[in-house]
Amino acid sequence: MAYIYPEPSRTFSEYLLVPGYSSAECTPDNVSLACPLVKFRRGEAPALHMNIPLTSAIMQAVSDDKMAVALAKEGGVSFIYGSQSIESQAAMVSRVKSYKAGFVTSDSNLRPDATLRDILELKSRTGHSTVAVTEDGTSYGKLLGLVTSRDYRVSRLNGDEPVSNFMTPIDKLVTAPSNTTLSEANDIIWDNKLNALPIIDGKGNLVYMVFRKDYDSHKENPLELLDSEKKYVVGAGINTRDYKERIPALLEAGADILCIDSSEGYTEWQKFTLQWARENYGDRVKIGAGNVVDGEGFRYLAECGADFIKVGIGGGSICITREQKGIGRGQATAVIDVAHERDNYYKETGVYIPICSDGGIVHDYHFTLALAMGADFLMLGRYFARFDESPTNKVSVSGSYMKEYWGEGSARARNWQRYDMGGAGKLSFEEGVDSYVPYAGSLKDNVTLTLSKVRSTMCNCGAISIPELQDKAKITPVSSTSIVEGGAHDVVLKDSPINN
């Protein structure tokens, strides 16, 4: 008969951290959240690390080049989604590696034959009042003009009025050439009392925008994650089908690290992928693998040569793998089991392979629990999908702003490679849903708040580094009754209606 585990698998919400002794040095300002990103030998430093233990998920609704830049500024890494053409994914990677601080790729663009109604719809969706009018309506098309809120009055124009009738045309705009430095661009903005400065190339194509409002936001961030050439670190997802073509293209584009994107990693397909990479690139290419939920799966991928290993099956908020197939494991139990095997492997071989907890994070305190249980860093989808920097639309649903969010196993994503078991090139059934998540604002504001909670909690545990947290933390399971006790209870909240 099948092996049956004696204990149920548990989620993060079934545990609490027990406070430990905190010395005078245990203050949030002293906490380091640095963590290894790839494996390393005892006594050596990892070839890649992060300054915060956060990565964004390999998902269409989460990780594009805009998200990658925003997260790298805070010290983490995005893995740009692979469920797109090789050329498109490589272009995203290239844009991250060529990004210049303060120079923003325009994401509000229209053709000259668009209408005022299109302007208003775009503004409602993006929240941006400056729209670039380009010949083909793309971010890099020939610039014909700009539209700002000063260029029209809704009460005096018909909704069908073409943009070309009221935009500020190119010959009346102040622009700058593509070799302009940020300092020079800011001088032009202030000297000409501009809110936005288009940067154009020799052919008149729009390259970047520089905004007055960003002037103060580009001060050096001490946690930003840079490579040896002072470029932002970026990752990319690959699959076990077209890796022989995709890996060379992504490396040529400048990807620092890759990760096999699969719902289940304990397979020979991942072994083939890792073997091919090692045979052709040796240790120069860094590749994470997964996902697994037990020590056996970790050991397999470790011996296959993975640089880090992702943990988690079915715990994502948009994942229905457990519902559809009945496989998976509670995320907390999975992390604890895999971390135990990671430590055993390190003792045996002297090689430390970081593990990434992927899925199951609902509340900010779950971050700290996952790290205390042994995760070196986390991969998050829903968390990042809520922010301005995610690639999805912001929409109004029942009077509240939401962001679209869908799983890679959904029909919308059509990412059959992620769920591929060597069969036909299609999704046999869905393992993800199409949904909305509440809009939460900017990545920087939210990550800063979340990590301030993590640092504060670590201090409560007497730890000022992630390894010290894992060494000192005491964790207790909680009953369903104590979970209720942990929130507001037996009171009537002032901002809530009284239930009669």
H or E, element range at 452: helix 443-460
* Coil, helix or strand at residue 470: helix
Please list the alpha-helical segments (H only) found in 180-314: 182-191, 243-253, 268-281, 295-304
112-116-121-125 Cα dihedral, nearest 10 degrees: 60
Give the three-state DSSP class for 319. strand
Pairing of strands 77-80, 109-110: unpaired
User: How far is Cα 188 from Cα 25, in angstroms, rounded to an integer?
Assistant: 46
What distance in Å separates the CA atoms of residue 143 and residue 202, rounded to the nearest whole number?
12
Query: What is the distance between the alpha carbons of residues 313 and 292, in angstroms, rounded to a whole number?
Result: 7
User: What CA–CA distance (Å, rounded) separates 134 from 139?
Assistant: 8
Which residues participate in catalysis according to the annotation? 319, 418
Q: Which of 182, 235, 231 is CA-nearest to residue 208?
A: 182
Alpha-carbon span 419 to 358, nearest angstrom: 16
Length of the chain, in residues: 500
Can you tell me the distance from the alpha carbon of 160 to that of 139, in angstroms, rounded to the nearest whole number?
Answer: 23
Q: How far is CA 477 from CA 10, 15, 97, 240, 474, in A?
A: 9, 4, 44, 38, 10
- Report whether 365 contacts 457 (CB < 8 A): yes
Q: Which two tokens stand for residue 478?
A: 């909680």
